[in-house]
Amino acid sequence: MSKILIIYGSSTGNTENVAKSVKEALGSCSLEVRLKNVKDTQPGELKEYDAIILGSSTWGMGELQDDFVPFEQGLRQVNLGSKRTAIFGCGDSEMYPDTFCEAVNILEKRLKSCGARIIADSLKIDGEIESSQKRAQDWAKKIAGILRKE
């Protein structure tokens, strides 16, 4: 059975709520899932898991959520081999059309530079999350299916 770690950074609670929906959906697929706030996580912990899912909202002009900044910098020192990964994020395409969910892109690049393998298209949630909860759960179930096949 795959051990999955979901790490989220959330300032307003939206990304945390999406992370909880993803965890719930993966758990319903009988997978072992741990959910952690990025501020309570060290990059070296990722090596203990078979799969990692990162979730960050985008702030300012396309920046990572504040708590994610030191974690992302610490990832530069970690070799993730071919660890299976996926990324999700929340953003606002109306207010920030040019940098919508840029945090997702930043995390994708960082994971790839660490040798990780991204196993699913990233989930980018626009605006209010309530209407996207089912989409997040469907995305998580797709990841569960991919993990089961590998």
Identify the structural domains of the chain with CATH numbers, from first to last: 3-149 (3.40.50.360)
Q: What is the pTM of this model?
A: 0.95
First to last CA, the chain: 11
Q: With beta carbons less than 8 A apart as the criterion, state whether 117 and 83 touch.
A: yes
**pLDDT score at 62:** 92
Q: Within 13 Å of residue 15, how many CA atoms lie on the same side as its CB?
A: 33
pLDDT band, residue 149 (cuts 50/70/90): confident
Phi, psi (deg, nearest 5) at residue 64? -65, 155
Q: Is 147 exposed, middle or buried (0-12, 13-18, 19+ CB in 10 A)?
A: buried
**pLDDT score at 125:** 93
CA separation for the pair 99, 112 (Å, rounded)? 20
**pLDDT score at 15:** 93
Q: What is the pLDDT of residues 42-58, one digit of tens each?
A: 999 999 999 999 999 99
What would the mean pLDDT of 74-103 be, rounded to a whole number? Answer: 92
Q: Hey, how many other C-beta atoms are within 10 angstroms of the C-beta on 47?
A: 12
